[in-house]
Amino acid sequence: MTSASLDHYFDSFRTQFVLPSGLIYLDGNSLGVLPKASSVAVQRAVEHEWGQDLIRSWNTADWINAPERCGDKIAKLIGANEGEVVACDSTSVNLFKVLVSALKLAEHDPSRNVIVSDIDNFPTDLYIAQGLRELLTSRSLELRFVKHDEVADAIDAKTAVVMLTEVDYRTGERYDMRVMTAHAQANGAMMIWDLAHSAGAFSVELNACNADFAVGCGYKYLNGGPGAPAFVFAANRHLQALDAINAPAPISGWFAHAAPFAFESEFRVTRGAKRFLVGTPPILQFAAFEASLDIWLTVDMGKIREQSLVLTDLFIREVEARCGSTRSPQAELTLATPRAHHARGSQVSFRHSEGYAIMQALIARNVIGDFRAPDILRFGFTPLYVTKQDVVAAATHLENILATCEWDQPKFKQKQAVT
């Protein structure tokens, strides 16, 4: 596909999002922009479904099945089958659920008591594993957190679970899902993937890679809105195995009950992916999220990846050409993201000792990216609404900020609660 025709393909999608005039938004990897359809869907849910139909909407608007319905739509974007994905809760809570489930399936071999992860994994993933170790004291879990290049060697006959985020949240470096999954399973371990920076960034192929479990969020590339429901995937073979041994729900909330509206005093776990549900779904969040998912189901994910690589390549070239002077402070700006296409997601990160202040100066110019400690300027590229013109303009702003030391002001160095 030619560059012009690819640009034209995304023009129609750009009009479906709310984009403030004069704003260059390169933070879709942290919070996706608002789909216009989501505003309409939330208004309908508030004014008609809640406002007029009230509690009847659990049936008439099918509120009750929102987690499964949205899960099946997400499944199409991540290479899963219907019935293998449910949307619910947060990524952190869902990671707890799949860790518990994976460890349950590994219970037959008590010698397997190690959880392996990347020490640079997103901290909440590491925290969940640490908390689980404290809860399951009888299991004597060992946490083996190592550097990226040491993960493969850390997996051995004692490993029960390997949990990795497919795309590094700081640098954008991408694990090879197929290779790492095969390696973990060859050593008898379960493989859990965090898709927080994958879903919506490129085509994910969970079943083609034989993944065991996965989690992900809805508010980044998928544009579900702040606090959007996350999602959890379990391969059908594991759902069947959990059902066969009547494994308990990882969190025995009433929506994981086999008959929640029977209001029984004793918990009976349901079958299939619904075992990962807990409590009442947040319907207004689901309304916004599902409207966005309906847009995503019309997108060619191959074209998403093709344009993502065009935009990220262009940004790297422009920044290095404009900000590559040997004069200080430009010389401190170094690329943290892999150049090889297969090794990166849909973001570009640069390191700079004054990264926080530089990013605040960019934001003041209406170029929105974000900062990750200790020194990462992070830029996310969503082809649905980011253009080549945005990319060049952003690089130009960065060049000017560095050339004039515009960042070197107290107001840009004052740390805010969210970076």
Q: Is 219 a catalytic residue?
A: yes
Q: Is 194 a catalytic residue?
A: yes
- Name which of 103, 125, 115 is nearest 162 in CA terms: 115
Residue among 27, 89, 118, 194 flagged as catalytic: 194
The DSSP annotation for 287-344 comes to HHHHHHHHHHTTS-HHHHHHHHHHHHHHHHHHHHHHS--SSTTGGG-EE-S-SSGGGB
- Name which of 350, 362, 352, 357 is nearest 328 in CA terms: 352
Residue among 378, 381, 385, 390 flagged as catalytic: 378
Size (the chain), residues:
419
Alpha helices (H) along 123-261: 123-135, 151-154, 177-186, 236-244
Q: And the tokens for 321?
A: 């050409």
Question: CA angle, corner 37, sides to 202 and 82, nearest 5?
Answer: 50
Q: Is 286 a catalytic residue?
A: no
Q: Is 255 a catalytic residue?
A: no
Residue among 220, 275, 344, 372 flagged as catalytic: 220
Q: Please report how many Cα atoms fall inside a 13 Å half-sphere around the Cα of residue 163, on the Cβ side.
A: 36
Residue among 13, 175, 213, 219 flagged as catalytic: 219
Residues 416 and 419: their CA atoms lie apart, in Å, by: 6
Residue among 10, 13, 96, 122 flagged as catalytic: 122
Which amino acid would we find at residue 348?
V
Which residues does the annotation mark as catalytic? 122, 194, 219-220, 378
